[in-house]
Structure 1
Amino acid sequence: MIKPYYRTVLIYLIFASLWIYFSDALVAALFRSPEMITQVQSLKGFAFVGCTALLLLFLTRADVNRIELANLNLRKSYDQTLKGWVQVMDIRHKETGEHSLRVTRMTVKLAALLGIDGDELTCLARGALMHDAGKVGIPDTILIKPGPLDDKEWAIMTQHPVIARDMMKDIGFLQPSIDIPYSHHERWNGTGYPQGLAGEQIPLAARIFAIIDVWDALSEHRVYRQAWPEDEVLLYISEQAGIHFDPEIVEVFLEHYDEIKEAALHPSYF
């Protein structure tokens, strides 16, 4: 099979050769005067330039469309791979296999309500999907321990954002999505980890996701505690505005809570 760029050159050569041969023959048959032949040849040259420009536009546009489609399919393959990997991670964490997809869908909805769209929203979705990627480096004895962690265990657990950052930083298409895995445990008042960032020092994507992550953590049964009633979860989030969470984002979350919660059931997260 001829490669696209060779095919483009071949089509151009055939078109140009046919144009020159038949147009010269036509001019010779129709005109006898040297002056007329010269004028017609000049017009023929302009026409050739215009027609070849249109031909090249068509051919290159077709190749660009094929490349864009291939890139789209490649991105879809990457995202499907991420989806499968994080579902396995959820099972390892003793979570429902839908945990990461659920919080991703809700995060995307909240981010969209805040005016985030396009590629920025796609990167945010991947970051939400990968939010606990660093837990792959945490031993099961700590990760799924049924009781509270001691100081040494907690110190190990708090390294999972750093592990996630180190995993993702050298993967080109994931680099723009690091903010959530690395910073979603930061707190508005500066008491979070791993960097102790405060206020708007915390990346916006991480501030958005933090609310969804805590909502989901409190709403679902975990190995170390039972789920909270929904009204208590919402009250806690409201009370943590300005302490754990960005108060402006909490306001949007509570105002649009029903549609954000409904987004968890959508089949796609983009």
Structure 2
Amino acid sequence: MRTNPPLRIAGIYVLVAATWIWCSDRVLGVLVSDADLRMELQTLKGWFFVLVTGAMLFWLIRHDVRRLERSNRRLRAGREQALRVLVTAMDARHQETGHHSERVARMATELARLDGVRGRALDELRLGALLHDIGKLALPDTILTKPGPLDEAERTLMRKHPRIGHELLQQVDFLRGSSEVPYSHHERWDGGGYPQGLCGEEIPLGARIFSVIDVWDALITERVYKPAWPETRVLEYLREIAGSQLDPRLVELFLKHYAMLKQLAAAPETAPAQRTA
């Protein structure tokens, strides 16, 4: 059974301190008979004790902090592996091809980085992009895999998935900050989207970034309800809806770096290595 780290550090400190005080006092008593000299040496001994034990505490605490950091990294990696298994199953159920969720998450993360997003916000966006369609778990297969257009009742039900996704992620502590992308990626720059009818910069930045990638991916890949569009037509369409459906600044940034972002749509083993946040 492992010792509690704070208790272990305190125990080591008390043991070292008690040993040092007991031994050093007796050594001074034997070797130094002059009272004034003994007082000066006691002062020096005290300062030496402070320096040595301070260094010892620093080493012990740093050792435990690094051990906790390693444990946290393993925990985060385990969480992400579990999420990726879930996402793979979701894509299979939706009949998405080419690891759709992984693909758009890679591209959205890089577009966000190009826009200056860093640190925790970038990690939250990445996970939100990966789980953007998690609300569709509550929808029937007859809607998700329907080969033709949805009727009005089906569209109404489909439009519930952003809110469902948001509610699901709000129940998980480490995913609460990632819920903006699933909740708001169907909002439109002009206010005509759903579920909240947000417009312009009212829409969270992460959702606006992801929407550019999601629209591109939806058009350029084959879906159960439509064939893939030619690339030139997709890029022209993005220019057309910049300022109405999509944030025009982010569309411009996407097109400026399109060649590099397009490479990230490849499988992970062939895509360029992504930099860490």
- For 1:44-55, list aligned pairs within 5 A: 44-55=45-56
Query: 1:125 aligns to what?
Result: 126
Match of 2:74 in 1: 73
- The secondary structure found in structure 1 opposite 2:39 is helix
Q: Is the 8 A contact 1:91 1:97 kept in 2?
A: no
Q: Provide the rounded CA distance (Å) in 2 between the counterparts of 1:97 and 1:263.
A: 12
Matches within 5 A, 1:140-219: 140-219=141-220
Alignment correspondent of 2:63: 62
Q: CA separation of 1:198/1:2 partners in 2, compared to 1, >3 Å: closer, same or farther?
A: closer
Moved more, 178-187 or 36-45: 36-45
SS at match of 1:149: coil
- Segments of 5+ residues of structure 1 without an aligned counterpart are none
Give the equivalent residue in structure 1 for 2:246: 245
CA-CA distance at 1:78 after TM superposition: 1.1
Query: Cα distance 1:246–1:72, how it changes in 2: closer, same or farther (>3 A)?
Result: same
Instruction: Tell me what 2:260 maps to.
Output: 259
Q: Deviations over 1:130-189 (max 9, x none)?
A: 000000001111111111111001000000001001101121111111111000000111
Deviates more, 1:194-203 or 1:12-21: 12-21
Instruction: Please give the root-mean-square deviation of Cα atoms over the aligned residues, in Å.
Output: 1.4
Match of 2:229, SS?
Answer: coil
Cα deviation, residue 66, structure 1: 1.4
Letter in 1 for 2:80: D
Which stretches of structure 1, 4 residues or more, deviate above 6 A after TM superposition? none
Q: Aligned runs of 1:101-120 on 2, under 5 Å? A: 101-120=102-121
Ranges in structure 2 where 5+ consecutive residues have no aligned partner: none
1:215-260 deviation line (CA, Å, top 9, x unaligned)? 1111111111100011111110111100110000010101110011
| TM-fit CA distance, 1:25 | 2.8
Q: Distance in 2 between the 1:97 and 1:138 partners? A: 22
CA distance in 2, matches of 1:46, 1:200: 59
User: Residue 26 of structure 1 aligns with which residue?
Assistant: 27
Instruction: Identify the range of structure 1 (18-27 vs 139-148) with the bigger mean alpha-carbon deviation.
Output: 18-27
State the one-letter code of the partner of 2:30.
A
1:137 aligns with 2:150: no
| AA matched with 2:213 | I
Give 2:237's aligned amino acid: Y
Residue identity opposite 2:101 in structure 1: S
- Give the structure 2 partner of residue 234 of structure 1: 235
Equivalent residue letter for 1:247: P
CA distance in 2, matches of 1:9, 1:200: 52
Q: Cα offset for 1:97?
A: 5.2
Instruction: Give the C-alpha shift of residue 15 in structure 1.
Output: 1.4
Contact 1:124 1:180 in 2 (8 A): yes
CA contact 1:161–1:182 (8 Å) conserved in 2: yes
- Which amino acid in structure 2 is aligned with residue 47 of structure 1? F
Q: Residues 187 and 196 of structure 1 are in contact (CA less than 8 Å); yes or no, is this contact kept in structure 2?
A: yes
What is the CA distance between 1:62 and its match in structure 2? 1.2
SS in 2 for 1:65: helix
Q: Partners of 1:104 and 1:168 in 2: how far apart?
A: 17
Amino acid at match of 2:35: P
- Residue 14 of structure 2 is aligned to residue 13 of structure 1: yes
Alpha-carbon separation, structure 2, partners of 1:127 and 1:64:
29
Q: Distance in 1 between matches of 2:73 and 2:238?
A: 38
Q: Distance in 1 between matches of 2:61 and 2:226?
A: 60
CA contact (8 A) 1:207 1:246 kept: yes
